Amino acid sequence: MKIGFIGLGIMGKPMAKNLMKGGYTDVVVNDLNKDAVKELVDCGASAAENDEIGKLCDVVFTMLPNSPQVKEVMLGEQGVAAFMRPGTILIDMSSINPIASKEIAAVLNEKDVDMLDAPVSGGEPKAIDATLSFMVGGKQETFDRYKPILETMGASVVRCGEIGAGNTTKLANQIIVACNIQALAEALMLAKKAEVDPELVFEAIRGGLAGSTVMNAKAPMMLAGNDKPGFKVDLHIKDLNNVLDCAHSVGAPVPMTAQVQEILQWLHNRGGGQKDHSAIVHYYEYLTGETL
């Protein structure tokens, strides 16, 4: 099986490496960042342009920033879809609007090319250690066939429904993550202002009902003043824009999402778009004049 992998960013690069470590060694890669391409070639992959990936590969993975990039790569004038053979498949692991997933799938279906939308959660650390969570949309039989490939990159691979269901689930995930980070920042700053050590507060509550994977990942970063990105503010803004678009389309109320989106946008407007989304704590530091 020859596999194409397009998109070697913070997430895509370690995911492609884990795919190869998992035994899928016939991998062809491409990215605008040619240093990332070279790094994968040094690990045993081969490199090709998108049209060649479409012609050569049985499975094409994409891991790209947003809907416009996936549409351009797949459906643009020299897009991959134009070169894919009947019976092949696109597995899009990007986090995009589920409406866009359905549009891409419809075009591919006309060419007898299958598709799964399979966005992930877990950020860079889980991409590196292959413990990502995959939320997948598509036909049951297609999911069953390709699940073992996804399991080389993740610890959890769950089918959520038909095409678009994966990205709908990812939007729900991103609401919960963003609102958890905001609540964590707010709570730790309350402790700081009340002259209680935020680190001890974290240690005391992490094992109780308030504890979460988000807390365990982000509280130490906030306490250390570390905002090196595992998942960037700008990417979370992108995801929450997709949440708001989808919510408005289906009539779902999302007031908490709207509020945390404003905080993320505040960070972006002050040069923080490339910081980790745990930098939400900087908003509270600005309001209080305190450093956590």
CA dihedral 167, 168, 170, 175 (to 10 degrees): 140
Instruction: Quote the CA–CA distance of 81 and 54 in Å, as a whole number.
Output: 7
Only one residue has tokens 């972006």, namely 268
| DSSP code for 196 | -
| DSSP code for 48 | -
Instruction: Quote the CA–CA distance of 23 and 166 in Å, as a whole number.
Output: 25
Cβ(89)–Cβ(103) under 8 Å?
no
HEC assignment per residue over 194-238:
CCCCHHHHHHHHCCCCCCCHHHHHHHHHHHHCCCCCCCEHHHHHH
Strands (E), the chain: 3-6, 27-30, 46-47, 59-62, 89-92, 114-117, 120-121, 132-137, 154-161
List the catalytic residues. Answer: 170
Nearest 5 degrees, angle CA 243-CA 292-CA 260?
15
Q: Which two tokens stand for residue 186?
A: 């707010």
> Helix, strand, or coil here: 5?
strand
